[in-house]
Chains A and B, each alone.
Chain A
Amino acid sequence: MSALAALEAGLLLGLYALLAGIWGVLWALAQFRQNPIFGRSAAAAYGLHTLAALTIILWTPLGFGWKCLIVGSSLVFLVLPPMTWRLLECTHQNEGSEHARKPSQHSRRLVARL
């Protein structure tokens, strides 16, 4: 790998991971906010992430195995936020009643307000 290619590959890999993070955060925010801009922004972030992945695959001299890893990671990044979210909702829905909760600062705040 040439000097310039090493630098470019490093930057692209960083961008690739960063865009995956932005996709995850925006996707999660879109679940809370009704504003469709979050959903669209999340899709755009994942589109850019895919573009970064394609650039890494087509342009950098990384070996075949590493390129497969990039593809696989992109697929996992795609499903990870919805999967995590579903699991979170599932665990929160199944959460026991008040007796399962430790006395929290949240509840103490309500007491303080009263």
Chain B
Amino acid sequence: MYRSQALAIKYFSAAMTLFGVMTLFGLISAYYYLNPDFLFGILPFNIAKIIHINTLVIWLLMGFMGAIYWFLPEELGRETTGIWAAEILFYVFCAAVAVVAVVFIFVQYGGSNEAALWFINQGRKYVEAPRWAALGIVVIMVVFAYNVIGTAIAARKTTGIITVLMIDLIPLILLYLIAFPAISNMSADLFWWWWLVHLWVEATWEVLIGCIMALALMQLLGTSRRIVETWLYIEVALVLGTGILGLGHHYFWIGTPSYWLTIGGFFSALEPLPLLGMVVHAVYDAGAQHMKTTNRPALYWMMAEAFGNFIGAGVWGFMITLPQVNLYAHGTQWTVSHGHFAFWGAYSCGVISVLYLVLQKTRNLAFVDGSLWRWSFAALNLGLVGMTGALLVSGFVQAFVERAMGGSTLNAFISGQENAWFVDGMVARFLLAIVFTAGYFVLVWDVLTLGRRAPAVAAVSPAQ
């Protein structure tokens, strides 16, 4: 095994741990809606939410990095260049995440000064990490890019997938630099902040997961390189073509010119088209292989990725993307529902799929199957779909009662929060979050014991 692949396993371990932290703080955040006095004076809602959202970003990022560190040496036929630096930075990354979490939980607030920005919280959603930690992330990403590009140079070769990956890493790093300036004009600040959030999630991350899925498909189904590369180019072009200017669908209520609403609505309304193409592609691949594989969980999670991406990002996004609806739905639980489903479908399922591929290799398993992964697959997906459904109901109430009827006043906000449908939606979301959490624990148990419960896994026929 390459050192790079040993590092990948560490990244996957850290990602799975943070997945758990994200789930725990999501559960806590959900409970605040049922009992607003929960942890009163100890841990406010906004801090729990910050940790929930930031661990989401970090666990996925670590999962992506783990996947790349795993596939890169196999793809280019040599050890990753500068792996020693990556190994050191992994521990720095983990330590920084722990320190930031401790600061968020125990310090919580700073003053309105530079020191607070540097050491406590930068204050912008998704990139709340204090500036020192954000600088650390830049250094880690630069070294990551150096690892990828340096390996290609040292190997004196590249592949279509690695070339796309190398190109993608440049905007990935440059866009993150938007996390730093503290612009005093709020409209200007939010305008640029959306560049970071949107273009990471709906552009550069989409390309990154596209590259990872292309590499995973070659291992999982033995799909030829030419096919995955052809489709990678097509899908990347379509996703970027619709995703980049879809940026405008966030520009509500922040003082940006109104033409952005039309541009954003138009391009993001096109986003379901390439996603449908991916679904047809997934059905084709699954049918061509008759769903036979040596790694069932990896295949099922990969299928869940294609379908989840279409439904979460495509269908849920299409509901709210036209400006006439977005005007009311923006920032309600309706968009929270979309966010949960889209992140799950587009990214989380893909990372779990690669994790199972890695486990098969590291534990030297001829076949991967069994019952545990099915339970976790069912509980995680049912929990997630149920949560998004419940959030959708609450979001309808908010958009209807609070926004459209009440005109977004404080009284309207209270009316919306007290509405029976909203409350019921929040109760259902919490209960289904428990199902999701149970699914997480089963997943962890399966991952930890896979191959060690030898007869149950290895003896299962692959062609059931």
Q: Which residues of A contact B (CB under 8 A)?
A: 1-4, 6-7, 9-11, 13-14, 16-18, 20-21, 24-25, 27-29, 31-32, 61-63, 65-66, 69, 73, 76-77, 80-81, 84-85, 87-88, 91-92, 94-96, 100-109, 112
Is B455 in contact with chain A by the CB < 8 A criterion? no
* Whole-angstrom CA separation of A24 from B279 in the bound complex: 8
In the bound complex, do residue A62 and residue B324 qualify as a contact, i.e. CB atoms below 8 Å apart?
A: yes
* Whole-angstrom CA separation of A63 from B396 in the bound complex: 22
In the bound complex, do residue B324 and residue A14 qualify as a contact, i.e. CB atoms below 8 Å apart?
A: no
In the bound complex, do residue B283 and residue A73 qualify as a contact, i.e. CB atoms below 8 Å apart?
A: no
In the bound complex, do residue B284 and residue A80 qualify as a contact, i.e. CB atoms below 8 Å apart?
A: no
User: Contact partner of A91 among B226, B366, B367, CB < 8 A?
Assistant: B226
In the bound complex, do residue A7 and residue B399 qualify as a contact, i.e. CB atoms below 8 Å apart?
A: yes
Chain B residue at smallest Cβ distance from A19: B315
Is B378 in contact with chain A by the CB < 8 A criterion? no
* Whole-angstrom CA separation of A37 from B63 in the bound complex: 41
Jot down 18 A-B pairs with beta carbons below 8 A, ordered by A: A2-B404, A3-B405, A6-B324, A7-B404, A9-B324, A10-B320, A10-B399, A17-B314, A17-B318, A18-B315, A21-B272, A24-B276, A28-B279, A95-B226, A96-B226, A105-B219, A105-B222, A106-B222
In the bound complex, do residue A14 and residue B404 qualify as a contact, i.e. CB atoms below 8 Å apart?
A: no
Residues in A with CB closer than 8 Å to B223 are: 104
* Whole-angstrom CA separation of A20 from B269 in the bound complex: 13
Chain A residue at smallest Cβ distance from B274: A80
* Whole-angstrom CA separation of A9 from B283 in the bound complex: 30
Chain A residue at smallest Cβ distance from B276: A24
Is B316 in contact with chain A by the CB < 8 A criterion? yes
Is B452 in contact with chain A by the CB < 8 A criterion? no
Known: A7-B396, A9-B322. A107 touches B222 (CB 8 A): yes
Chain A residue at smallest Cβ distance from B406: A3
* Whole-angstrom CA separation of A98 from B53 in the bound complex: 45
In the bound complex, do residue B220 and residue A105 qualify as a contact, i.e. CB atoms below 8 Å apart?
A: yes
* Whole-angstrom CA separation of A1 from B322 in the bound complex: 12
CB distance from A68 to the nearest CB of B (A): 11
In the bound complex, do residue A66 and residue B281 qualify as a contact, i.e. CB atoms below 8 Å apart?
A: no
In the bound complex, do residue A7 and residue B400 qualify as a contact, i.e. CB atoms below 8 Å apart?
A: yes
Is B65 in contact with chain A by the CB < 8 A criterion? no
Q: Which residues of B contact A (CB under 8 A)?
A: 218-227, 230-231, 234, 262, 265-266, 269-270, 272-273, 276-277, 279-281, 283-284, 287-289, 292-295, 310-311, 314-316, 318-322, 324-325, 327-329, 334, 360, 366-367, 396, 399-400, 403-405, 462
Residues in A with CB closer than 8 Å to B219 are: 102, 104-105
* Whole-angstrom CA separation of A17 from B274 in the bound complex: 12
* Whole-angstrom CA separation of A18 from B311 in the bound complex: 7
Q: Tell me whether chain A's interface is mostly helix, strand or loop, or mixed.
A: helix
In the bound complex, do residue B315 and residue A109 qualify as a contact, i.e. CB atoms below 8 Å apart?
A: no
User: Contact partner of B221 among A61, A106, A108, CB < 8 A?
Assistant: A106
Residues in B with CB closer than 8 Å to A10 are: 319-320, 325, 329, 334, 396, 399
* Whole-angstrom CA separation of A21 from B306 in the bound complex: 11
In the bound complex, do residue A28 and residue B226 qualify as a contact, i.e. CB atoms below 8 Å apart?
A: no
In the bound complex, do residue B399 and residue A6 qualify as a contact, i.e. CB atoms below 8 Å apart?
A: yes
* Whole-angstrom CA separation of A29 from B291 in the bound complex: 13
* Whole-angstrom CA separation of A73 from B322 in the bound complex: 14
* Whole-angstrom CA separation of A100 from B222 in the bound complex: 10
In the bound complex, do residue B269 and residue A73 qualify as a contact, i.e. CB atoms below 8 Å apart?
A: yes
* Whole-angstrom CA separation of A13 from B288 in the bound complex: 32
User: Contact partner of B284 among A2, A13, A28, CB < 8 A?
Assistant: A28
* Whole-angstrom CA separation of A85 from B283 in the bound complex: 10
Q: Which of B226, B325, B327, B399 has the most CB of A within 10 A?
A: B325
User: Contact partner of B280 among A28, A100, A101, CB < 8 A?
Assistant: A28
User: Contact partner of A1 among B273, B283, B294, B324, CB < 8 A?
Assistant: B324
Chain A residue at smallest Cβ distance from B227: A91
* Whole-angstrom CA separation of A101 from B367 in the bound complex: 21
In the bound complex, do residue B316 and residue A104 qualify as a contact, i.e. CB atoms below 8 Å apart?
A: no
* Whole-angstrom CA separation of A79 from B445 in the bound complex: 44
Chain A residue at smallest Cβ distance from B283: A28
Chain A residue at smallest Cβ distance from B230: A91
User: Contact partner of A88 among B266, B284, B325, B367, CB < 8 A?
Assistant: B284
Residues in B with CB closer than 8 Å to A17 are: 272, 314-315, 318-319
* Whole-angstrom CA separation of A101 from B224 in the bound complex: 5
In the bound complex, do residue B293 and residue A106 qualify as a contact, i.e. CB atoms below 8 Å apart?
A: yes
In the bound complex, do residue B293 and residue A85 qualify as a contact, i.e. CB atoms below 8 Å apart?
A: no
* Whole-angstrom CA separation of A21 from B184 in the bound complex: 44
* Whole-angstrom CA separation of A32 from B289 in the bound complex: 11
* Whole-angstrom CA separation of A94 from B220 in the bound complex: 21
